[in-house]
Amino acid sequence: MLLASPGLGAAMAYVTSRLVHDLSAEVAREREIGSYHLVERLGTGAMGEVWRADHSMLARAAAVKVIRTQALTVDSIEDARNVVNLFELEAQATAALTSPHTIDVYDFGYTKEGLFYYVMELLDGFDLQTLVERDGRQPPERVAHILRQAAESLHEAHEMNYVHRDLKPANIFMCRYGGDVDFAKLLDFGLVLDRNASLEEEDPGVPEPDAGVKLIGTPSVMAPEMLDPHAKIDGRADIYGLGCVGYWLLTGERVFPAETRIAMLRAHARATPQAPSERAGVQIPAELEQLVLECLRKRPGERPQSALEVSERITGLGLANDWDRSRRNRWWDNNATGPLQDRLDR
């Protein structure tokens, strides 16, 4: 009904345009959102900008995410509303999760111009994309340590019927946390699916990708069932993504090194991944390699059926115990404050 009125639609478009302009001016000039002063832009994504921020009264720094101006520059008021709804769902879903391996949300609300923002913990470390690009493939015991932590975060999310849908190396962050290091945090629930609103069928099939279909997610980690816009998606799509992350850590390469987006999607739909040990040319514990390959199976019913199962199987391997506190501290002392950190800061 709203869009059926040209006058009202034009008015809403004008309001949205003004909000976009006002947010840009506010950030550039005042850099004040709620009780937070924006200090430095840390990064941008499809929907939001993330800023390092100081609270007006508290000593602890935080990260503030606000809707990007470009995200609201859309063709219709309905599209703009959908962007805001997705942003709100991301904040609400993340705030509802309590696993220490999920980014912690402190607060959320609206700017005085009416745009949504939320405040989260500021992490000290680097994501897995950066780690492998600059430090190379990782030892199997560290890979087990990282995957187990990520699986624990996913277990809680899936128990609450949330599916991340974009589990990639850039969305898992290794940080200092309390007195520990190499502590994994799952980030960016910007594509989260709330299955409480739409419960899914049990075992979607494997479609043939269509170059003309608009897909949600990252092609290099996309589960085959996500290539079908009509498929019903559940947590096993995240388990496939976790397999892609494990493959990246073990080999230093993506599962399928395709040159184009459609070739990448077709490979995920149909191709059999090469064993990580063959790709990397090194010996990898057979049980860990097998688990990663099981996560990468095309049909959801042939993968591990829960993140808890993945976590328990990794625990049973005993590998993660070999990446103990002393090894973690030694790696961080030698790398995270030295050459690797210098490269991370560039």
Active site residues per annotation: 166
What is residue 332's three-state secondary structure? helix
What is residue 64's three-state secondary structure? strand
Residue found by looking up tokens 């470009």 in the block: 70
Q: What are phi and psi of 62, to 5 degrees?
A: -145, 175
> Alpha helix locations (H) across the chain?
6-29, 77-96, 128-135, 140-159, 236-251, 261-270, 276-280, 286-295, 307-317, 325-331, 339-344
Residue 145 CA to residue 51 CA, distance in Å, equals 29
Nearest 5°: CA angle at 87, between 82 and 92? 120
Q: Are 98 and 159 in contact (CB under 8 A)?
A: no
Q: Is 10 exposed, middle or buried (0-12, 13-18, 19+ CB in 10 A)?
A: exposed
Q: Which residues of 77-92 are buried (b: 16+ CB within 10 A; e: fewer)?
A: beebeebbebbebbbb
> What is the number of other CB atoms lying within 10 angstroms of the CB of residue 340?
18
- The region, left, alpha or beta by phi > 0 then psi within -120 to 50, assigned to residue 326 is alpha
Residue 188 CA to residue 42 CA, distance in Å, equals 14
